[in-house]
Amino acid sequence: MSYTPGEIEAKWQKIWEEEQAFEPSDSHEQKKKYILSMFPFPSGRLHMGHVRNYAIGDAFARYYRKQDFNVLHPIGWDAFGMPAENAAIKHGKHPREWTYSNIDYMRKELNSLGLSFSKTREFATCDPLYTKHEQKFIIEMFEKGLLYRESTTVNWCESCHTVLANEQVEEGCCWRCDNEVQLKEMPGYYLDIIRYADELLDDLEQLEGKWPSQVIAMQRNWIGKSQGLEFRFELSEESRKKLNGKFDGYEVFTTRPDTLFGITYSALAAEHPITKYMLEHGLLDTRTAEKIKAISNMTEVERAQQGKEGYPLGISVIHPQTGEEIPVWVANFVLASYGGGAVMAVPAHDERDFEFATKYALPIKRVIEGGSELPYTGPGTLRDSGRFSCVDNEEAKTAIINIMEEEGKGRGTTNYKLRNWGISRQRYWGAPIPFVHCPSCGLVPEKRENLPVALPEDVEITGEGNPLENHPTWKYCACPKCGQDAVRETDTLDTFVQSSWYQFRYATNPKRWNEVGIDKADANYWLGVDQYIGGIEHAILHLLYARFFTKVLRDLGHHDIDEPFNRLLTQGMVLMDGAKMSKSKGNTVDPDALVEKYGADTARLFILFAAPPQKELEWNDSAVEGAFRFIKKLYDRKSKVTGSTLPDIDQESLDKASKLARVKVYEALQKSTDVYEKTFAFNTLIAACMEALNALDKQNNGAVWTEGMFIMLNLLEPIIPHTAAELSEMLFNRKNFNAVLEVKEEVFVQESILYVVMIGGKKRTEIEVSPSAAKDEILAAAKEAGSKWLQGMQIVKEIVVPGKLVNLAVKPA
RNA sequence: GCGGACAUGGCGGAAUUGGUAGACGCGCUAGAUUCAGGUUCUAGUGGGAGCAAUCCCGUGGAGGUUCGAGUCCUCUUGUCCGCACCA
């Protein structure tokens, strides 16, 4: 009977469904593994990236299940987000309807791949039950002072009609639609992720070796911790008067307190409060005012392209040590978002300050010895720095911070590049932010018993404005505190909020999904995720937010876990002709068509075989054929099996080919532990199985065939589960899936060992010697076999690597 | 500029952690089956010389350590990715 993937796969998918084969046990006693592939956005159809992601995850899940772990391998849907609204605008369908019908379709597609998901824990993040608990967490964060509302300059995407978090701006453009991001002043809700910056940074150490080093590096970089001195520049008397006494100084931050005596000017951002005040009160001449406004309207990217620009503000500050008067400028390179939007400028020892000072002919004062040219940013000894002259600059850093602290003028401090996470979005299809604006009570959270604050169903989505804002009645409500007329918040939560805690939701027993968002005991048992699999594109956004939420929810008492994802595998992209598969490029392969033609097992085998999972995978139709051929061959060899259990084999009685076949089979078995625990190189495990099958084919011993198939089907079950199950049932009554397979060392014992003979570092010939041969015997045999290369040579050194080779170092006699 | 990764046949990729480079698969060549193509099977397949035994060269490049280097060290070239005026 030939291989019929369609029938076999349908049969097994039905059996698994009926057996509820992949539900984890509720018991917390058993050893566990939590295997998680990043959940999909229900865009409509599966693409090859999904297939790769879930094929990898499923291999882990099935492997550990066979090792007798209690395995949690869930799936769900990251269901809120803009594409649902865009589809609504395009097709006139409600986002909810669009989303859930996509989920139904994609669930079928996932089923057809034979993935071993738990079915009882599936949910979509737009389910009211999920929103309810998320809103509760948000309120708890507000009550803890971790969430606040503030009006600031934000990144605005005009095409998406919404605010974006810093992490969602890529090269000045929207991460989703690539539209240029504008700056806009508006109120929004923020989560104080900076409060957790140190922990987020420090705990990266625990992930060393378990997460890709690149991802760890990217997160470190993104948090961007730097230490230095924060101090206050006092405005000169005259300048205070000029500013109508509204300001008496401002704070600056520097990582180079050692260069304090080299300050020759100070620069403010165009958005700095003093700059703004001067603009608003006509304290600047018209031309300068216009130039500054022009800077304000530029994005950071544009400013960088423009080159250094600035204008004197006609005010001055006092140097905190020398008492000198220092001119204050406004400069386009000073970022409002970092270090308070103001800097001290030391042109002699900072490249930017130097460039600016040169352009505007500002004084340059060297205070550190070293280098022949300015600016000099290296180490050295201080000069012209008062009592700190002649001190090493590293020592001076601490010394100057100490003096400034003693004199009450400044303090040693830490700054982060990381900004607080802006979580409000001006869109409909998201979780409403559960607050009410009351004229008397201010910002008030909705009452717990009224959660979830649900989205209105009768809504018109046109793409213009915020549909919640425009809804005729939805936002009008009573204040939860005082009962008077109030207005509901119409912003919804960033969808990254949902994906920040879903790993805890899966872990929570569905029986308790109504009363709790996260069950503490369940979470503590299942988390952290033992293997997380997903794309590198989430290296910062999702993975940082999820780590942050984990720590916050821990501190709110919902669990005791510090890090959500113990091990991370970032899969490479699926490419076609060197480019990422995408509908717009028309270079896609449809998973459904592939499964239809070859079956899910071939699709899974190919995808795991074609490249290591971390690397990009180039699609290759003929290589898919190759994967198909292997499965057919495996299926065909069922006729070679002569027994239904693992046979006892008398190694001595076997011929050479059979012995070799056993070696290959057991090598594959050895390999599998390494692959799942360390290397993730499924491609090499599959190659080892192919080698084993090739070697089995070269011999005809029924017992060796039986043993080989028994073991190989076990090894291949995580990869080609349907075919493996079918053959295993037919041949072994599925007993080989429960069996604990042990490597039999006697298989590797050979009656003669092949030694490579190297002479002068080059491979010359081979010798066969008995395993019991002494070193002298081996050397003698090697010298005899290599005699023709030894003529006229003197042996300088003799090396014998046991079981491997002999190397004779020679020189001309 | 800072940070990270990578470089091996025509292609995807192996190499037990310093020990026979190119496993496995694709492609290609020849033959067999079939003969319309495909399928399937057998043999070959890093480059060069040679009828052959065999020899020389070979893991981006140049050095070094070593009996022995794809693997370790130094320098260098190139590619990819992330961040980027972060004071």
pLDDT tens figures, A346-358? 999 999 999 999 9
List strand B contacts in A 244-263 (CB < 7 A): 253-256
Q: Give residue A168's pLDDT.
A: 78
Residues A530, A531, A532, A533: what is their CA dihedral angle, to the nearest 10 degrees? -170
* Distance in Å, residue A807 CA to nucleotide B57 C1': 21
Q: d(Cα A494, Cα A210) in Å, to the nearest integer?
A: 29
- Mark out the alpha helices in A267-392 (DSSP H runs): 273-280, 286-296, 300-306, 351-359
Q: Give residue A71's pLDDT.
A: 98
Nucleotide nearest to A760 (CA to C1'): B67
Assign domain A30-145+198-217+492-619 one CATH number from 1.10.599.10, 3.40.50.720, 2.40.10.220, 3.40.50.620. Answer: 3.40.50.620
* Distance in Å, residue A788 CA to nucleotide B52 C1': 18
Bridge partner residues of A225 (DSSP): A416
Q: Is the pLDDT of residue A330 over 70?
A: yes
Q: Give residue A752's pLDDT.
A: 79
Structure tokens that stand for A67 in this block: 């090792």
* Distance in Å, residue A175 CA to nucleotide B24 C1': 40
* Planar angle of CA A307, A371, A333, nearest 5 degrees: 20
Q: Is the pLDDT of residue A176 over 80?
A: no
Q: Is A520 exposed, middle or buried (0-12, 13-18, 19+ CB in 10 A)?
A: middle
List strand B contacts in A 739-758 (CB < 7 A): 754, 756, 758
Spatial neighbors of A571 by CB under 8 A, at least 6 apart, are A49, A52, A53, A56, A533, A534, A535, A536, A613, A614
The long-range contacts involving A401-405, CB below 8 angstroms and separated by at least 24 positions, are A401/A229, A401/A257, A403/A321, A404/A229, A404/A231, A404/A257, A404/A320
Structure tokens that stand for A555 in this block: 């501190």
ipTM of the complex: 0.94
Q: Of A768, A770, A717, whose CA–CA distance to A741 is shortest?
A: A717
At residue A91, what is the residue type? Answer: H
* Distance in Å, residue A786 CA to nucleotide B11 C1': 38
- Contact between residue A210 and residue A568 where contact means Cβ atoms under 8 Å apart: yes
* Distance in Å, residue A679 CA to nucleotide B17 C1': 13
Spatial neighbors of A619 by CB under 8 A, at least 6 apart, are A48, A574, A575, A576, A581, A589
CA A58 to chain centre: 19
Q: d(Cα A466, Cα A473) in Å, to the nearest integer?
A: 14
- CB of A332 lies under 7 Å from some atom of strand B: yes
- Contact between residue A601 and residue A722 where contact means Cβ atoms under 8 Å apart: yes
- CB of A687 lies under 7 Å from some atom of strand B: yes
- Contact between residue A579 and residue A27 where contact means Cβ atoms under 8 Å apart: no
Average pLDDT over residues A477-487: 96
Q: d(Cα A214, Cα A211) in Å, to the nearest integer?
A: 8
Residues A635, A641, A643, A644: what is their CA dihedral angle, to the nearest 10 degrees? -10
Nucleotide nearest to A343 (CA to C1'): B87
Which strand B bases fall within 7 angstroms of a protein CB?
Answer: 2-5, 11-17, 19-21, 23-27, 39-42, 55-56, 67-69, 81-87
* Distance in Å, residue A631 CA to nucleotide B39 C1': 15
- CB of A538 lies under 7 Å from some atom of strand B: no
Most confident among A107-121, A166-180, A182-196, A727-741 (mean pLDDT): A107-121
List strand B contacts in A 552-611 (CB < 7 A): 609-611
Common-topology check for domains A621-747 and A750-812: no
Q: Of A132, A195, A147, whose CA–CA distance to A422 is shortest?
A: A147
Nucleotide nearest to A617 (CA to C1'): B12
List strand B contacts in A 715-734 (CB < 7 A): none
* A678 DSSP assignment: I
Assign domain A750-812 one CATH number from 3.10.129.10, 3.40.50.1100, 3.10.20.590, 2.40.30.10. Answer: 3.10.20.590
- Contact between residue A696 and residue A705 where contact means Cβ atoms under 8 Å apart: yes
What is the architecture, at CATH level 2, of domain A621-747?
Orthogonal Bundle (1.10)
Average pLDDT over residues A410-429: 93
List strand B contacts in A 36-65 (CB < 7 A): none
Alpha-carbon distances of A655 from A47, A329, A661, A700, A703, rounded to whole Å: 48, 89, 10, 10, 13
A11-61 pLDDT, tens per residue? 999 999 999 999 999 999 999 999 999 999 999 999 999 999 999 999 999
CA A594 to chain centre: 29
Work out the pLDDT band at A209, boundaries 50, 70, 90: confident
- Contact between residue A38 and residue A76 where contact means Cβ atoms under 8 Å apart: no
- CB of A224 lies under 7 Å from some atom of strand B: yes
Nucleotide nearest to A252 (CA to C1'): B87
Q: CATH code for A225-416? A: 3.90.740.10
Nucleotide nearest to A766 (CA to C1'): B20
Work out the pLDDT band at A797, boundaries 50, 70, 90: confident
CA A73 to chain centre: 19
Q: Give residue A454's pLDDT.
A: 96
* Distance in Å, residue A61 CA to nucleotide B39 C1': 36
- CB of A691 lies under 7 Å from some atom of strand B: yes
Report the first-to-last Cα separation within chain A, whole angstroms.
Answer: 69
Work out the pLDDT band at A182, boundaries 50, 70, 90: confident
A67-123 pLDDT, tens per residue? 999 999 999 999 999 889 888 888 888 999 999 999 999 999 999 999 999 999 999
Structure tokens that stand for A271 in this block: 């958005």
* Distance in Å, residue A612 CA to nucleotide B13 C1': 8
* Distance in Å, residue A615 CA to nucleotide B15 C1': 18
* Distance in Å, residue A652 CA to nucleotide B69 C1': 39
Nucleotide nearest to A229 (CA to C1'): B87
Average pLDDT over residues A268-281: 95
Nucleotide nearest to A220 (CA to C1'): B3
Q: Give residue A553's pLDDT.
A: 98
Count of helices and strands (H, E) across chain A = 29, 30
- CB of A268 lies under 7 Å from some atom of strand B: no
Residue A40: HSE in the Cβ half-sphere, 13 Å Cα cutoff: 23
List strand B contacts in A 441-500 (CB < 7 A): none
- CB of A214 lies under 7 Å from some atom of strand B: yes
Work out the pLDDT band at A569, boundaries 50, 70, 90: very high
Domain borders along chain A are 30-145+198-217+492-619, 147-191, 225-416, 432-487, 621-747, 750-812
Nucleotide nearest to A614 (CA to C1'): B5
Average pLDDT over residues A627-638: 94
- Contact between residue A268 and residue A344 where contact means Cβ atoms under 8 Å apart: no
Average pLDDT over residues A766-776: 83
**What percentage of chain A reaches a pLDDT higher than 90?**
74
* Planar angle of CA A204, A530, A501, nearest 5 degrees: 70
Q: d(Cα A29, Cα A770) in Å, to the nearest integer?
A: 51
List strand B contacts in A 340-379 (CB < 7 A): 341, 343-344, 350, 352
Q: Give residue A813's pLDDT.
A: 67
* Distance in Å, residue A693 CA to nucleotide B73 C1': 42
Q: Of A102, A375, A404, A16, whose CA–CA distance to A228 is shortest?
A: A404
> How high does pLDDT run on average in chain A?
92
Q: d(Cα A8, Cα A162) in Å, to the nearest integer?
A: 49
Structure tokens that stand for A125 in this block: 């993040």
* Distance in Å, residue A572 CA to nucleotide B77 C1': 26
- Contact between residue A303 and residue A332 where contact means Cβ atoms under 8 Å apart: yes
**Nearest residue, CA→C1' of B4:** A214
Average pLDDT over residues A210-226: 92
At residue A374, what is the residue type? Answer: L
Helix (H, G, I), strand (E, B) or coil at A465: coil
Q: Is the pLDDT of residue A600 over 80?
A: yes
Residue length of chain A: 813
Q: Which contiguous run of DSSP H or E holds residue A141? A: helix A128-143
Average pLDDT over residues A535-558: 94
Q: Give residue A1's pLDDT.
A: 65
Phi/psi region, residue A206 (left: phi>0; alpha: psi -120 to 50; beta: rest), is alpha
Provide DSSP, A595-660. Answer: HHHH-HHHHHHHHHHSS-TTS-EE--HHHHHHHHHHHHHHHHGGGG---SS-----GGG--HHHHH
